[in-house]
Amino acid sequence: MKKSEIPQHIVSTAMSLAVEKGWATLSLAEIAVASKVSLSDLHQIFPSRNSILRFISEQADQGVLEEHDNDYLEQPAKDRLFDICMNRFDALIPYKEGIRAIAKDSRRDPISTLLFLCNLKRSMPLMLETTGLSTSGLRGILRVKAFSVAYLVALQTWLNDNTEDLGKTMVKLDKVLGRLDTVARRCSGMNRVSRSKAA
């Protein structure tokens, strides 16, 4: 095995173990044994289980960036967000069963869940910026929070969506993004009315 392939091998092994044994009680030592990598070498790459989750999130981010096309900017915002979310889900497919197992163990391992959400805190602004939507200022902060909720709702559907074309996920994602789009339009309309009255 090439040295460059070791991190991916460790992560894949960890996800398989999460499915077999659960994530909450899984140790780095168990991952090292199953990966056939010394604990010392594993620890240099992944000093904690949470660093494994961060690696997965970063891989998904990279998948989003690789699929980015400047033509996105010519599409409506809702369509851009839909495409980029589906691209991220596609990038997460190799880890889907493991993520599902981690989600199942979330009550017993709240720290991992919290850190997963922290990873999303870094990823969600990236996704919005990639689609040309600013995350600066108060409006940007609110946009990130609203989009994060929509993404998590769709993620729950994705985790349980076994259809080949991810049809259920697409329907749910379209629905939640549609709600966001409606709210955004209403807020934009209210802002225009306020500015006209002030003038």
Q: What is the pLDDT of residues 118-152, one digit of tens each?
A: 788 889 999 999 988 999 999 899 899 999 999 99
65, part of any domain: yes
191, part of any domain: yes
Report d(CA 131, CA 135) in Å as an integer: 11
The three-state (H, E, C) secondary structure of 40-85, written as one string:
HHHHHHCCCHHHHHHHHHHHHHHHHHHCCCHHHHHCCHHHHHHHHH
pLDDT of 20: 95
Place of tokens 């990598």: 37
Domain that holds residue 131: 49-198
Higher pLDDT, 54 or 112: 54
145, part of any domain: yes
pTM of the shown model = 0.84
What average pLDDT does range 18-26 have in this prediction?
Answer: 92
Number of domains in the chain: 1
What average pLDDT does range 171-187 have in this prediction?
Answer: 84
pLDDT of 183: 74
Dihedral pair phi/psi, residue 115, rounded to 5°: -70, -35
pLDDT band at 194 (very low <50, low <70, confident <90, very high): very low
147, part of any domain: yes
66, part of any domain: yes
- pLDDT (tens digit per residue) in 28-60: 999 999 999 999 999 999 999 989 999 999 999
176: pLDDT strictly greater than 90: yes
82, part of any domain: yes
* 46 exposure class (CB count in 10 Å sphere: 0-12, 13-18, 19+): buried
What CATH number corresponds to the domain at position 181?
1.10.357
